[in-house]
Structure 1
Amino acid sequence: MRTGLLLPFLLTLLLSLAASAQGPGGEPAFDGQIQEWESVLERAEQQLRQPMDASPVVEDELKQELRAVLSAAEHRQNEAESRLAPLQEQLNSLGEPPAEGDPPENPEIRQTRQDLNQRISTIEARVRQAALVRVRANEFLQEIASRERQRLQEEVLERTPSPLWPGVWQQAVQDAVEVLSGIWDAPFDWASEIAQFGRQGALPYLYLFGIPAVAFLLGWPIRHWLSKRFGRDLEEEDPGYSRRVVAAIADGLARAVIPSLAIGIAIGILYFQEILTGYFATLLYILAAAVTGFILVSGLARAVLSPRRPHWRIMPVTPLGARVLYQRVFLVTAIFAGTAALQMAAIQAEAFTPELRSVFVLIDNSVMAVLLLSMLPNRYWVNPEEGFGSTGWNAGRFLLGTVVCLTPFLALVGYSRLAEFLQTRIIVTGVLIGFFFLLRLVFREALSLLLDLAYRQRTGAVSQEENRHQLTLFWAGLVIDIALLLPLAYVLLLIYGVPSTIVTLWAEQLLTGINIGEVRISLVDILLAGVVLTVGLFASGLLRRWLSERVLPNTYLDYGIRNSISSGISYIGVGMALILAIATLGISLSNLALVAGALSVGIGFGLRTVVENFVAGLLLLIERPIKVGDWVVVGENEGMVRHISVRSTEIETFDRSSVIVPNSDLIALPVTNWTHKNRIARIIIPLRLYYGEDARKVQQLLLDCAGRNDDVLAFPEPYVFFKAFGESALELELRCYIRETDRYLDVMTDLHFAIDDSFRENGIQMPFPQQDIYLHRSGADPRQAQPQKTAEDTQEDSNHQQQGKQHRGEISTEADSGPDRDGDAS
């Protein structure tokens, strides 16, 4: 016994020592990494104690090191936490240590318990150390971000010489002439440079002009093919919305994307060939970027607005607005690209002086303000069918117009940097939002086309399930919107001056998780849980369809049992999908059980009916007093059971209306189930015969009618029941059994027709109820005024007397009370 306990202990000790010596979680490796982290944190603390005049390059390097430390510490912490769980399980398996007064514990067990406690304590210490490193690294990164924000604020609010002074304009003109002369001299300087280094001849010029020409020649056929194959057809007068979207995409690719790619490829080849050098290379790169931006924005605006062909437009604006807006977008993009290129050229030449900036920004912002304000009138945007013109839209236009009008005045009083910051951000924001809506439109339309195609392949025609189609499109579109909004928000935060460090920390916290108390909320976990739940529900639906359509129909089980089996497996699949999704979120099932237990009382009172119906639904699926396909009668409702869910049961009546019955009613109230054990049903057809008819002959005729019907069972065999000698007729009943309850009304109708035909052929007549009604005038004595019979009545009474079997029921209606007909007859 002692040897059996000692051997596992020695093996565990050896494995733990080996893991600590060479594994990633071993003490030497972890201690060495802790020292590296501490050195980085100490250097960061010393750097941040210095004034804010530190180089941004040094801060960028420090940010990268801190991010690396943060990532490594998080990895170490997660790794250590994952090692704690199995050790804690091993410790729990040993049970509680003996209390005072109990017999002593086995020495090997005691030693194992001490070793496990020591290892758990060591790993918990590492978790705390890694968590402390992460906290300190986050603090330093936030301090760096605070410095960046303060530096940006000081830069934006820095004042420049006001253009109100004439000397500022004179100096600005001199600086502008110097910048333009430098731009003019750049190609000649480049030519002199390549000649100086012995690269004479036409080869550099061939590269400079030939590569863009080749890129243009290669891109032109693709552009032409796209426009011809998918673009706008002049002969098509009323294209559908999907066709317009496809044409807009093709036009945007042909006019914007392909030329931009050609320019980028050409510049990339020139860059890697090292043909361009010096200031001339910088100018060409700036020019290429400006031209690319202009082509992209103007080309996509033309594709979306379609100013010359209104019936191909996909942007919800008025026809006048489409033409005016495209002109304004073209001008704004051209001016913005040109001024940005000139400004970057001046900055690269170190000639963008404060005076030049002040005058340049004033002119640029004034022209841009006029163009932007000319795009805001509501007559260009109002389209009642698309929802423009609302209060929020008008408020946004007013706020935007106010900021645009303010920028020239800011530049005039010396805040040119602030004016430039506001106006450029407005323009860039408009471009990004336009790209967002364009991508959103393209993805949503593509999704709609794919869904239509999937439904068409499944049903052979466009799906009629509009609600399901719209629901799928809504949720998929919501996912698309979120996927596009997140990067848009990230970029907008960056361009509006939020430090990249803060944005990166926010993004990391959003993705990796935020601790709120003991709960950790992570966007990645939420998305993964959503994916797991969706995949689980989809797999459960596939399994249910596979069982109900492929497997169970090939068994001898009836339809109700097959439905119960497939429904039960579907419920199990949904439950497993929910459990997996909850586990993916990181929520402990034990904690969930505690919460469920705490809420059980409230659920029992507040949701008593729901829980009762749920339990009743499970009982219906297990006990199966009714099942799908049964013919049931519940109260005043009669019909076929079409679906049994966890809360209610759907009964389809014979007039095709659906009655939703709570499951608890089906358990607690009497229910008539015509097809509970089997689908055999009995048909009873009552008949009345004149006294004197041959009852035996009628019996045989009825049995022959039942025997000729294919739906009537031979066993149990049909029979005729002589019910009674009635007041005015002989009363008989034909009783027979049919094999299928669903044929009940059809078989009864067929038997009625067959009996009527047989009686007509054999001269059998059935009487109808006869009544005599006597009317007496007011004031007359009914005992003295006897009714006078007609000749027909006398002949009928004579016939009945001869037969001796026909009786007549008579009713006397009198104004005054008097004796009945028997008294009158006497």
Structure 2
Amino acid sequence: MGNAWKLMGLMVLVLFGPGSVAVAADSSPVGLVTKAEQSTLVVAQNDLPGLQARLDGLKQQVSLADSLSQLVSLQDLIQAYLNDVERQQSALLPVQAQLQSQLGVLGPASPDEQAPENTDIAIQRIHLIEQKDKLDSSLKTLAGLKASATELTTQIAALRRSRQRLSAVLQEIGATLASVWQPGQRLASSVLLLLVLAIWTLGRRVAERGLVWVCIHRMPEGRLRRSSLALASILATLLTAACALQLLFYAVTRQLPLTPMLQNLAEEIEKLVYTCVLITGLSRALLSTRHPSWRLPAIADPVALAMEHFPQILAGVLLVLVTLSQITNVSGMSTQVVIFGRGVIALIVTLIIATLLLHISKVRKAVADSGEAPEAGTTLAGLMYTFASLATVVSILALLIGYISLARFITYEIVWIFIVFSGFYLLMQLLKDLCEYLFSPRQASGKALKQLLGIGDARLEQVSTVLSGAGRASMLLFALIALLVGGVGTTFGQLFAQALEILGGAGLRKLNIIPGHLLNAVLALLIGVYLIRSLRRWLDNEFLPKTAMDPGMCASLSTLFANIGYALVILLTLSSLGVKWTNLAWIVSALSVGIGFGLQEIVKNFVSGLILLTERPVKVGDLISISGVEGDIRRINVRATEIQLSDRSIVIVPNSQLISQNLRNVTLGGSAQGVATLELTFPLDIDPEQVNNLLYNAYCEHESILDHPAPFVRFSKLTPDGITLTVTGYVSSPRVVGKIKSDLLFEILKRLGAAGISLVKPAAE
């Protein structure tokens, strides 16, 4: 039944369908499309290679076009090509619909078609499927050709726009230059240009020589003069370049103001010029080939001479190539052109750096082979050389495999790292030399600071070291920020703004620290410390000596005043910074954790020191004995107390021990008396009364022995070896006990010898 229905459907299609069934006269398979449609399909398939060849030719012509007229004519040719493709598609779409409808009438193949009476239907279906597959493939190819041609049209439009904009930029530049070279303006323009050239050449030399003269005749001889000479060279280069550039812009724009497009281009070129000036100025200052004794880094003369011209070449190449790249960016050239320009810049800069590194290595090897003294190598210099070499190799590999953006980034970063490292190296050397000069005890500034602050040479050197270290640490922080956020063409203003944005993060904003308050905080700290030291000297030298207090009490009050004063100065400094006390909770929490784990001993000693200064169980000048140590208290500090022994040595005892341990204060209250006791052993056959009177009289007759309490002689013990007598007397102070006992012993031995009384000799062991 299924085959019967299919035969009926085929008959209906033949009799009443939109196209008749064409049957070949010979024994070939019968087709279900008309002869006209078959010829259309054959023609379309034969035209596809021609259409592809036409598209390839158009692409080649677009790549070689160098004028707007050629691009316009090519755009017309591509439009005609699109019309031909669409005409082919329009001719094939009805045939595709016809084949699809005929296949729909025949339906899918079934197992019954294996019968002999159904063989014609299967052959017809296979033939229709083959024709439809060819037709679908042709339509797909035509769709791809149409898409490629449409994309090519878009590229031509972009090229036309970019070239039109480039032409507009060149026209604007030409109009600007023509305005300053028109009749009546040529003389003034020539004079201004000559003046620009004179400032950049002669002016730079005059400015550099003037600053060098100032450094030589006004700066002290030494490291400060050398770093000042390097800075003078850079300043002369920057200042003359800035003057020449501003005068050049005035000469070009005095008649016709720049358009917004040219203004943007001029700003970018100005940044580029300053970058190139920094490259040449820093290299000239650090290499110092004309005056090797002025050179800051440890670079051998042959190496410096070998490197002399490379920074100038690099600056010139960057100035020319990056200017052209900026023009292409402003004019809106295509992405391919921009990437090509970046690749050229990266390639040339990489080759210059690679040549420099190879040349340096060759010169160093030659110096080593010649037997001359090699330059002093440092770890930092080795790391920089290794980093530059690796970066150069990576940049070349990136260019070879097509990563142009990566190669450009690496080369620009090498140049930027050189600028940042050289600039901050010079500034850190200058800061170090300046601190050493200002705080030197041999200089007038150091002597004035000593007299003003009342500090010694050692403390002045400590201040110099601390300020120099803090300044260099701050510069290193800014250098790191400059490396992270800056790049070639970044201005000082942009770097400073980025640094403030990074340093003024959420944490500092919560503390309300504003950079403008830093000066107030520094002034508050310096003035506060000066006032405390001045008031302490006034207390020690003028006020306290005129009171009835003992010296120990005076020393304790002076120390307590200084500690409280320094604490108040710290609080005042934080207030000047704008720190709100409610925002210091995290600091208190951190300190509490630190105190609980590592600072508890320090805090305990600090609190003990405050107790010693307020309750005064001991004071400066007291004679104490603790843990086998006996001596006079010399100073009570915040953490520990200094005890001076009889041999003038100092023992440092933590304050907590003076509070928590048993302590003997011999001179507490100022009324302590010393006890001079001698223990002597006599033979058994002596007259006890005679010896008693002799000892008693010797003590009573000594002028240092007090009458009250009176001296006395005591019978200590009786042994087979002899009689032991102990004589005791009191003196005014425990500090003189040792001397008085020595005097008494000499006197007693003298009187015993005169009376014929001897002491018991020690038994031989």
State if a TM-score over 0.5 links the two structures: yes
- Who is 2:622 aligned against? 630
- Which of 727, 732, 735 is equivalent to 2:729? 735
Going from structure 1 to structure 2, the CA distance change for 1:416 and 1:748 (only over 3 Å counts) comes to same
Structure having greater relative contact order (Cα 8 Å, sep ≥ 6): 1
1:411 Cα deviation from its structure 2 partner: 4.5
- Who is 1:332 aligned against? 310
**SS class of match (2:308):** helix
| 2:389 matches 1:401 | yes
| 2:341 matches 1:362 | no
Q: Deviations over 1:12-51 (max 9, x none)?
A: xxxxxxxxxxxxxxxxxxxxxxxxxxxxxxxxxxxxxxxx
Going from structure 1 to structure 2, the CA distance change for 1:615 and 1:509 (only over 3 Å counts) comes to same
**1:138-537 superposed matches below 5 A:** 193=181, 195-197=183-185, 199=187, 207=195, 215=203, 219=207, 222-223=210-211, 225-226=213-214, 228-229=216-217, 245-265=223-243, 267-268=245-246, 292-293=277-278, 295-303=280-288, 308=292, 314-316=296-298, 319=300, 323-324=302-303, 326-327=304-305, 329-343=307-321, 346=324, 359=344, 361-372=346-357, 374-375=359-360, 388-389=378-379, 398-411=386-399, 418-453=406-441, 465=458, 469=461, 473-474=465-466, 476-483=468-475, 485-486=477-478, 489-490=481-482, 492-495=484-487, 510-514=502-506, 520=510, 524=514
In 2, distance between residues paired with 1:571 and 1:504?
38
**1:603-642 superposed matches below 5 A:** 613-642=605-634
1:611 Cα deviation from its structure 2 partner: 6.2
Q: Deviations over 1:657-682 (max 9, x none)?
A: 44444444433443221211116542
- Who is 1:768 aligned against? 759
Q: Is the 8 A contact 2:605 2:655 kept in 1?
A: yes
1:344 Cα deviation from its structure 2 partner: 5.2
Q: Is the 8 A contact 2:273 2:319 kept in 1?
A: no
Q: Is the 8 A contact 1:544 1:569 kept in 2?
A: yes
Q: Is the 8 A contact 1:721 1:734 kept in 2?
A: yes
In 1, distance between residues paired with 2:504 and 2:204?
45
- Who is 2:582 aligned against? 588
| Amino acid corresponding to residue 676 of structure 1 in structure 2 | L
Going from structure 1 to structure 2, the CA distance change for 1:569 and 1:245 (only over 3 Å counts) comes to same
Q: Is the 8 A contact 2:618 2:665 kept in 1?
A: yes
- Which of 700, 712, 723 is equivalent to 1:721? 712
1:203 Cα deviation from its structure 2 partner: 5.7
1:441 Cα deviation from its structure 2 partner: 2.0
Structure 2 residue ranges without an equivalent (≥5) = 1-162, 164-169
**SS class of match (2:668):** coil
| Amino acid corresponding to residue 354 of structure 2 in structure 1 | A
Q: Is the 8 A contact 2:346 2:411 kept in 1?
A: no
In 1, distance between residues paired with 2:552 and 2:473?
43
- Who is 1:154 aligned against? none
**1:660-671 superposed matches below 5 A:** 660-671=652-663
1:639 Cα deviation from its structure 2 partner: 1.3
Q: Is the 8 A contact 2:439 2:446 kept in 1?
A: yes
Q: Is the 8 A contact 1:451 1:469 kept in 2?
A: yes
In 2, distance between residues paired with 1:594 and 1:259?
51
1:487 Cα deviation from its structure 2 partner: 6.0
Going from structure 1 to structure 2, the CA distance change for 1:534 and 1:315 (only over 3 Å counts) comes to same
| Amino acid corresponding to residue 334 of structure 1 in structure 2 | Q
In 2, distance between residues paired with 1:361 and 1:566?
69
Going from structure 1 to structure 2, the CA distance change for 1:752 and 1:269 (only over 3 Å counts) comes to farther
Q: Deviations over 1:294-319 (max 9, x none)?
A: 5412322224x99845xx754256x4
**1:786-825 superposed matches below 5 A:** none
1:339 Cα deviation from its structure 2 partner: 1.1
| Aligned residues: CA RMSD | 5.9
Going from structure 1 to structure 2, the CA distance change for 1:367 and 1:302 (only over 3 Å counts) comes to closer
Q: TM-score, normalised by structure 2?
A: 0.57
In 1, distance between residues paired with 2:491 and 2:762?
103
1:629 Cα deviation from its structure 2 partner: 1.9
1:426 Cα deviation from its structure 2 partner: 0.7
Going from structure 1 to structure 2, the CA distance change for 1:744 and 1:452 (only over 3 Å counts) comes to farther
Q: Is the 8 A contact 2:310 2:356 kept in 1?
A: yes
Q: Is the 8 A contact 2:224 2:434 kept in 1?
A: no
1:387 Cα deviation from its structure 2 partner: 8.9
Q: Is the 8 A contact 1:455 1:462 kept in 2?
A: no
Q: Is the 8 A contact 2:694 2:751 kept in 1?
A: no
1:465 Cα deviation from its structure 2 partner: 4.1
| Amino acid corresponding to residue 352 of structure 2 in structure 1 | V
Q: Is the 8 A contact 1:514 1:522 kept in 2?
A: no
1:769 Cα deviation from its structure 2 partner: 1.0
Equivalent pairs, count:
560
1:610 Cα deviation from its structure 2 partner: 6.3
1:338 Cα deviation from its structure 2 partner: 1.1
- Who is 1:76 aligned against? none
Q: Deviations over 1:439-470 (max 9, x none)?
A: 1122123223333337766779996748x955
In 2, distance between residues paired with 1:277 and 1:593?
62
Structure 1 residue ranges without an equivalent (≥5) = 1-174, 176-181, 232-241, 774-812, 814-826
In 1, distance between residues paired with 2:587 and 2:480?
40
Q: Is the 8 A contact 1:456 1:462 kept in 2?
A: no
- Who is 2:668 aligned against? 676
Q: Is the 8 A contact 1:685 1:734 kept in 2?
A: yes
In 1, distance between residues paired with 2:455 and 2:254?
58
In 2, distance between residues paired with 1:462 and 1:580?
23
Going from structure 1 to structure 2, the CA distance change for 1:458 and 1:637 (only over 3 Å counts) comes to farther
Identity percentage over the alignment? 21
Going from structure 1 to structure 2, the CA distance change for 1:555 and 1:271 (only over 3 Å counts) comes to farther
1:334 Cα deviation from its structure 2 partner: 0.9
Q: Deviations over 1:207-235 (max 9, x none)?
A: 4566668746853652452465479xxxx
1:729 Cα deviation from its structure 2 partner: 7.0
Going from structure 1 to structure 2, the CA distance change for 1:552 and 1:253 (only over 3 Å counts) comes to same
In 2, distance between residues paired with 1:590 and 1:314?
44
In 1, distance between residues paired with 2:628 and 2:692?
38
In 2, distance between residues paired with 1:626 and 1:465?
31
**SS class of match (1:495):** coil
In 2, distance between residues paired with 1:472 and 1:766?
71
Going from structure 1 to structure 2, the CA distance change for 1:618 and 1:250 (only over 3 Å counts) comes to closer
Q: Is the 8 A contact 1:568 1:621 kept in 2?
A: yes
| 2:552 matches 1:565 | no
| Amino acid corresponding to residue 425 of structure 2 in structure 1 | F
| Amino acid corresponding to residue 251 of structure 1 in structure 2 | L
**SS class of match (1:423):** helix
**SS class of match (1:588):** helix
